[in-house]
Structure 1
Amino acid sequence: MIRMLLRVLGPEYAPPVRRTVALMTTTAIVEGLSYALLVPLLQALFGSTPGDAWAWLIAFGAAVAVFAILRYRSDLSGFRVGTTLLRGMYHRLGDHLARLPIGWYSTNRVGEVSALAGPGVLRAMSVIAHLLAPFISACATPLTIVFVILFFDWRLGSAALIAVPVVAAIQVWTGRSTAAADEEGAERGNEATGRVIEYLQAQPVLRAGGRTTERFRLLDDSLRELQRANRRSTLSALPGVVGLTFTVQAMFTVLLVLGAFLALGGQVGTVEVLTILVLAARCADPLLSLTDIGGKLRGARSVLARLDTVLRTEPLPEPLEPVRPERHDLEFDATVFAHGDRRVLDGLTLSVHEGQRLAVVGPSGAGKSTLLRLLARFHDVDAGAVRVGGIDVRAISTEDLMSRIAIVFQDVYLFDGTIEENIRLGRPDADDAAVRAAATAARLDEVIERLPGGWSANVGEGGALLSGGERQRVSIARALLKDAPIVLLDEVTSALDPVNEAAVHEGIERLMAGRTVVMVAHRLRTVRRADRVVFLDDGGIVEDGTHEELVRLGGRYAGFLDLQIA
């Protein structure tokens, strides 16, 4: 468990974790040794000179005080280390997720990442703060008491020692028998989380189609499967609970019978037997708590295993010696890219001169957006190369590549904050004048003027408090502020009303000025602003030329425009 925890977190966290574990173990052993003083204390108390018990009582009180101090320090250390690990885990997971290829984020990953990044991380990191100390105490304290009994009477101690491997075997067997059920429960939990997110996001569509009842049934089925999986997990752990309880009770019964037999035979004093039975009874509670603690630890271990799987997922490789391109022309060289079993691009070759505006047109699924994503290296090609300034994007550092590219997508996501904060994502160190100039150039100033809070108005999660056109203007202002030499546009006006479309086009015109531009577009107004147009279909370029040349050609592009006009 600790090894997996350190593997997930990284070696830099090993020293404080090991110190905390050592302190918790010492505390548990001191607790067990303090109970050893009960033997001479009770012997003196029930002996011929009860006054001698005062010295042992003071010694016992001192031992309990030492234990209390150690327990306080170990618990405090556990909380501090747990908080540090939690913060470190969030940072490491966030940094790693940001480096994973966009293709990794398939639909079924939403529930998994949501469950891991929320309650999953808290559950895994709570091991140090809340579970490790009770677990070590439940193991080390009874074991110490067994050795204390062994020291005072080898026969009773040997009888108690027999229970140690039995308890260990029950814990191992319980862990193995519940592993499959725990894994199923985790999978059902991820699926249920994904269904909840899907249900919430799909409310407008479901209500418009009158399908809320059907969708609720799907969610309900998912939650019911989660309930069944949790029930199976509980039932699979039940034999271990019963076995552990029976073992503890059997151990106490054996010690009681054996102690009575030895006392009646005069081989051991009655006081010693009573004291040893008190010590044995003290073992019962921590041993029985192993069932609950063990279940929580197995759950945390399951989360750690899933975190480990995510963190072991290879991000796109960074070049060992990154190259900085001097130019900003673009090139696709015999590019092949597949999504699942389908080849989206099949040997595509295309070049875009620096400062040129290229429009990419074609039917849905032709690979238009894939071109933009490969340029931004959201994915790596399966064959061929994508180059910026003659340099393969795989030889350019991600930071350097992204600093040269401004992207405006059709679906704009804004973070829950102010408009200014969302614009500053383009260049966080920009001064106020630059931010306001970008907003004015994107025609965002007129939106800000009519908002109640102006610049400090909150846009809501995902920009929900703004219209689609207003979100698009924020996105363009962000790109303008970034001032990157390469601009990628993905159908940014396809779903806008005429007023917003006119404003967005004006902002886009300013954004494209003097830059290398690749735009995925269908609107005639947008395509005609391009220096060159390519028609994409079946993973390759079908037609290539200027707007006027392709119209005169009367081919696929001309037919595409005729459909739009019709």
Structure 2
Amino acid sequence: MKKRSDFSRLMGYAGRHRVFTYASLVLSAVSALMALVPFVYIWKILRDVLNAAPDYAQAVNIPHYGWMAVLFAVLSYLVYIAALMCSHLSAFRVATNLRLAVSEHLAVLPLGFAETFGSGKLRKIIHESTGAAETYLAHQLPDQYNAIATPVGLLVLLLAFDWRLGLLSLAPVVLAFLIMATMTGKRMAEKMRQYGNALESMSNEAVEYVRGIPVVKTFGQSVFSFKKFKAAIDDYEKWVISYTKDLRLPMMFYTAAVNGVFAFLIAGGLLFTAHGVT
């Protein structure tokens, strides 16, 4: 029997509201493509101005191009709002049904399970994890399709305007991906897993500490008497500092590569126009 994907399982909790999720994905992608249309009209404005120079009165279509750019920018924004409205309708239904399912499952478990497992971890699963599913469906999933449609549309525009400058614009993107690869892999995945475990442990121990505050006040003890809580904090400090230091240098080069696209374009423009501009 084929194992169901996580997304299909989430859609099972959405019920009849799943259609809103699919509609949000389509609308988000359409919004991303519509957001690129104003750049086409801006290019048309520049083209007409340069062709009409120095008699700029011949560029009679500039107001039309300007209003069309504004129209598509507004339409893109409205379509994206519609996409978010659809995604939220489905995400709220999924979060509600997930919390109900978890609560019903906890009701049939032995009474000692909550004490053994830890109330902090249970709270994280019921509230934070279901909230994370809601955030994923309401925002991250539509934004993912938006992020996929945008570079596809940009690639088409870049190659349509000038294929040489278009390919040159992709050079820093490829460089950024190569640098990003150094921040992934099994070693970094293991560090991220340990960081997540330390954060979860600290959250669980913090809940237990808050519950034990009356004991602290009654017997005049300090926070250091809660050795498990202090150990969890120290463990979290160790992993978060280690993880941050490992990502510091690659992130610096990644940011420079992503923001350095204009340096590539200026160098390419000077090279391609060395013998004059056609």
TM-score over 0.5 for the alignment?
Answer: yes
- Whether the 8 Å contact between 1:114 and 1:193 is mirrored in structure 2 is no
Q: 1:8 to 1:218 in 2, by over 3 A?
A: same
User: Aligned AA for 2:24?
Assistant: T
Query: What is the aligned counterpart of 1:115 among 121, 124, 140?
Result: 124
1:79 equivalent in alignment to 2:88: yes
* TM-score, length-scaled by structure 1: 0.42
Aligned residue number for residue 9 of structure 2: 7
Aligned sequence identity (%): 17
Q: Report the number of matched residues.
A: 266
Query: What is the aligned counterpart of 1:57 among 51, 66, 90?
Result: 66
* Alpha-carbon distance, 1:240 to partner: 4.8
Output aligned runs, 1:100-499, within 5 Å.
Answer: 100=109, 105=114, 107-168=116-177, 170-171=179-180, 174-176=183-185, 178-203=188-213, 211-266=221-276, 268=278
- Whether the 8 Å contact between 1:28 and 1:141 is mirrored in structure 2 is yes
When you count strand as a share of all residues, which structure comes out higher? 1
For the residue of structure 2 that corresponds to 1:37, the secondary structure is: helix
1:30 equivalent in alignment to 2:47: no
Q: 1:99 to 1:155 in 2, by over 3 A?
A: farther
> Quick check: 97-106 or 222-231, which moved more?
97-106
Q: Provide the C-alpha distance between the structure 1 equivalents of 2:37 and 2:261, rounded to a whole number of angstroms.
A: 20
* TM-score, length-scaled by structure 2: 0.78
Q: 1:208 to 1:251 in 2, by over 3 A?
A: closer
Q: Provide the C-alpha distance between the structure 1 equivalents of 2:243 and 2:90, rounded to a whole number of angstroms.
A: 30
Which structure 2 residue ranges, 5 or more long, are not aligned? Answer: 53-57
* Alpha-carbon distance, 1:222 to partner: 1.9
* Alpha-carbon distance, 1:64 to partner: 1.5
- Whether the 8 Å contact between 1:178 and 1:237 is mirrored in structure 2 is no
Q: Provide the C-alpha distance between the structure 2 equivalents of 1:179 and 1:63, rounded to a whole number of angstroms.
A: 42
User: Aligned AA for 1:235?
Assistant: K
Q: Provide the C-alpha distance between the structure 2 equivalents of 1:151 and 1:64, rounded to a whole number of angstroms.
A: 21
Q: Which has the higher contact order (CA 8 A, sep 6+)?
A: 2
Aligned residue number for residue 344 of structure 1: none
Q: Provide the C-alpha distance between the structure 2 equivalents of 1:67 and 1:146, rounded to a whole number of angstroms.
A: 19
Aligned residue number for residue 43 of structure 2: 39
Query: What is the aligned counterpart of 1:98 among 107, 110, 115?
Result: 107
- Whether the 8 Å contact between 1:143 and 1:164 is mirrored in structure 2 is no
User: Aligned AA for 2:273?
Assistant: A
When you count helix as a share of all residues, which structure comes out higher? 2
How big is each residue's C-alpha offset from its partner over 1:499-527, in whole Å with a ceiling of 9 and x where there is no partner? xxxxxxxxxxxxxxxxxxxxxxxxxxxxx
Q: Provide the C-alpha distance between the structure 2 equivalents of 1:160 and 1:252, rounded to a whole number of angstroms.
A: 8
How big is each residue's C-alpha offset from its partner over 1:397-418, in whole Å with a ceiling of 9 and x where there is no partner? xxxxxxxxxxxxxxxxxxxxxx
* Alpha-carbon distance, 1:148 to partner: 0.2
Aligned residue number for residue 69 of structure 1: 78
For the residue of structure 1 that corresponds to 2:116, the secondary structure is: coil
User: Aligned AA for 1:40?
Assistant: K
How big is each residue's C-alpha offset from its partner over 1:415-459, in whole Å with a ceiling of 9 and x where there is no partner? xxxxxxxxxxxxxxxxxxxxxxxxxxxxxxxxxxxxxxxxxxxxx
Q: Provide the C-alpha distance between the structure 2 equivalents of 1:165 and 1:96, rounded to a whole number of angstroms.
A: 47
Output aligned runs, 1:503-514, within 5 Å.
Answer: none
* Alpha-carbon distance, 1:82 to partner: 2.8
* Alpha-carbon distance, 1:9 to partner: 5.6
Q: 1:135 to 1:256 in 2, by over 3 A?
A: farther
User: Aligned AA for 2:231?
Assistant: D
Provide runs of 4+ in structure 1 moved above 6 Å.
none
User: Aligned AA for 1:29?
Assistant: L
- Whether the 8 Å contact between 2:21 and 2:86 is mirrored in structure 1 is no
User: Aligned AA for 2:6?
Assistant: M
